[in-house]
Chains A and B, each alone.
Chain A
Amino acid sequence: MAYSDKVIDHYSNPRNVGTLDKSKNNVGTGLVGAPECGDVMRLQIEVDQNQVITDAKFKTFGCGSAIASSSLATEWLKGKTVDEALAIDNMEIVEELALPPVKIHCSVLAEDAIKAAINDYRVKNGLEPLVEAKSHH
């Protein structure tokens, strides 16, 4: 399996690795995947009063493409509003990282993690949860 330079770059120097305080009301946490599937992604966002994502962190147990997808996602999330973040599509990640077809599901996982984090944030703040995260696998 040959990896693109961008995947290798994110894998070697992952951005925004870490943990936000999930007990805080303005922090949304998304945990997707399962250990027996070989991939678990945790993505967190911190949101200010203007619905702008001021911080994003991730930790991923998974292949290089999954690590790169989540690392890239945190980069993209910072500075976006929650609504803008909702519009991130996994195919944009595929394109940016030049993922081969067998690695598309790694990007789907990142999109799911974003949606799950936003959902968590919404529920915590008394908003309706989103209807449906894109299903995969």
Chain B
Amino acid sequence: MLKFPIYLDNNATTPMDPRVLEAMLPYFTNHFGNAASRNHPFGWAAEEAVDYAREQIAALINCNPKELIFTSGATESDNLAIKGVFEMYASKGNHIITATTEHKAVLDTCKHIEKLGGQVTYLQVNSEGLIDLQELEAAITDKTILISIMYGNNEVGVVQPIREIGRIAKKHGVLFFSDATQAVGKIPVDVEADGIDLMAFSGHKMYGPKGVGALYVRRKNPRVKVTAQMDGGGHERGMRSGTLNVPGIVGLGKAAEICRLDMEADTARIVAMRDRLERELLQMEESYLNGNKESRLPHVSNISFKYVEGEGLMMGVKDIAVSSGSACTSASLEPSYVLKAMGMSDDLAHSSLRFGLSRFTTDEEVDYAISHVKEAVTKLRELSPLWEMFKEGIDLDSVEWAEH
């Protein structure tokens, strides 16, 4: 039985796994203690639960449990990593390297750093969304303190060459921070093998709760520290004050454990569905897959349908919940800056859809999505003067459009 709308926006957020909820529930009521209360069993139970979650998470990303700082989510982790390194290593330099396709939580933090007098290099990506390693290395100066490159992109799913970036960072004695919000729990992430010094991720992208996330901060080779961005009780080794969100952390831990145990089986199923969806939709004329086809996350597919407009398309596919490449919030449509950074024209960016699958997505849902999207695209093209012109062989770039 299909339930509508079908949720295919799992890069925005995932539903929480019922097993995670079950693990969390006792920590709202019975075990409500403050993990920082050292004097009684209520505090001990909470602390024990937090420590257990640290182990569950550490096992997923191959770090030491002590290297995890709990936060409210990836946005906070991104801020803490970048601002925290900028402040802590001010005597070493003030230069940060990042890329134009990063999440806003990274890009806007970098803008903030620039206001504070920092220097930021924004690396371009190629048409497939990948950065150029030579460009990265060439951008490093003696003032560079941090490279901030995301693991997997949230819009197109492109996975950057993380290990090579880690190696370059190490070679030049620069710290490497990766926003791995879309990757952790979906593909094997190993901070040791990858050479990552700091890494952000979030519960609600990996079948855990919202409002909880973590920042991995390396303790050995090198020992990394970040300046706290909130003053207070000095929790989390002084790097992040505030009473720990015990139920959330328990949920993040459980989510991490399930991801570690089920990743292989989940991925096999999800990739099969993703590939089928892609194969079917790309059979349509003038539809294009966005982003590198090899180096990418298993659960996302971003496809442009030329000659149909994004918002009209969204209206036509109302039975499925997906994201579009345009954020039409006002009279001026803003095409996705990620697709634009990949060199895509505005109109193609506008007409893209992002499909995000999850461990709960079913074959029936994918079948429905395929026929629903095909139908909407076909209908809108019949309505589209651009499609008609294309079919007549008119070069749309040669048309003089009325001024606008």
Contact = CB atoms under 8 A, between A and B. Distances in A.
A123 interface: no
Interface in A70-91: none
B350 interface: yes
Contacts of A63: 309, 311-312, 315, 328
Contacts of A116: 402
Interface in A13-70: 14, 17, 19, 31-42, 59-64, 66-67
B385 A41 contact: yes
B326 A38 contact: yes
A3 B328 CA distance: 14
B326 A14 contact: no
A12 B221 CA distance: 61
B403 to A, nearest CB: 8
Contacts of A11: 312, 315-316
Contact of A35 (B329, B383, B396): B396
B330 A64 contact: no
B382 A19 contact: no
Nearest to A41: B385
Contact of A31 (B331, B385, B387): B385
A122 interface: no
A14 B382 CA distance: 11
B402 A38 contact: no
Nearest to A102: B330
* Contact size range, B: 20 to 34
Interface in B352-402: 380, 382-388, 396, 401-402
Interface string B322-352: 0000101111110000000000011100100
B176 interface: no
A62 B388 CA distance: 14
Nearest to A3: B315
Contact of B333 (A38, A60, A67): A38
A17 B385 CA distance: 10
A39 B326 CA distance: 13
Contact of A62 (B309, B332, B346, B401): B309
A37 B309 CA distance: 10
A40 B394 CA distance: 15
B345 A36 contact: yes
A64 B316 CA distance: 9
Contact of B382 (A17, A31, A62, A137): A17
A6 interface: no
Contacts of A124: none
A34 B402 CA distance: 7
19 contacts: A14-B383, A17-B382, A19-B388, A31-B402, A38-B310, A38-B333, A41-B385, A59-B384, A61-B308, A61-B309, A61-B386, A61-B387, A62-B311, A63-B328, A64-B315, A102-B329, A102-B330, A104-B331, A112-B402
Interface of A: 3, 11, 14, 17, 19, 31-42, 59-64, 66-67, 102, 104-105, 112, 116, 137
Ranked nearest first, the 5 interchain pairs of A and B with the lowest CB-CB distance are A34-B401, A63-B311, A42-B385, A59-B385, A38-B333
